[in-house]
Amino acid sequence: MLKVALTGGIGSGKTAITDYLSSLGVAVLDSDQFAHEVTARGEGAVDEIAKALGPGALSPDGDLDRAAVRKLVFSDPKKRAQLEAIVHPRVRQKMNEAAKRAITPYVIFSIPLLVETKQAENFDHVVVVEAPHELRANRVLERNSLDHDAFSAIDDAQASDVERRRAANDIIQNDGSLQSLYGQVDALHQRLTALSRRKAQTAEA
């Protein structure tokens, strides 16, 4: 099975792509979803996070207070590293277990921080989706309650297009309509299906 990573900046269109690929029957694993799962009530990570970041990381009923955690780590690189050291290995393990259960020729791992967390080399193929900064800002501002400053703060903390491009085997330009995006994803799907066949043949030979 071919392991394909998908990454891109905030609002670049990762979810639009994975929703479309899911509709084509492709197995999609989303690191944000797994990060939510491993930090749900009762998971060991929650206690560890509270130990590392202090009781302010929890709500009164003992759940992880995600907004508080975001605030706590945003301006404190040491705390951010501690949080990542707790969450990322668990997410990776869960995603790899889920990928083993997949029966599709290739699996998409949607990982917003693929480049920042230096994971690109763990994949057979890396797809990067790009869109201009202002277009991403407008799309995100329309989608949820972030304001422009919050968008820019997140965007500034992420890798640049140049850094992502270095890791890319494929680049999708999401600067037009959704139809144009889906056309590119159809072509990508064909390339990845062909690549996965080739990988399977090489493994059999």
Residues that bind ligand ATP (CB under 6 A): 8, 10-16, 112, 139-140, 143, 174, 177-178, 181
Buried b (16+ CB within 10 A) or exposed e, 21-58: beeeebbbbbbeebbeebbeeeeebbebbbebbeeebb
Q: How far is the CB of 6 from ligand ATP (least distance, A)?
A: 9
17 versus 64: smaller Cβ distance to ligand ATP: 17
CB of 54 to ligand ATP, least distance (A): 27
Choice between 58 and 126, CB closer to ligand ATP:
126
> How many angstroms separate the Cα of 35 from the Cα of each of 21, 95, 168?
21, 10, 24
Quote the least distance from Cβ 113 to ligand ATP, whole Å: 10
CB of residue 137 to ligand ATP, shortest distance in Å: 10
- Looking at beta carbons only, is 10 or 192 nearer to ligand ATP? 10
* C-alpha to C-alpha distance for 93 and 167, rounded to whole angstroms: 22
The residue among 38 and 137 lying less far from ligand ATP, judged by its C-beta, is 137
* Residue with Cβ nearer ligand ATP (52 or 150): 150
Q: How far is the CB of 141 from ligand ATP (least distance, A)?
A: 9
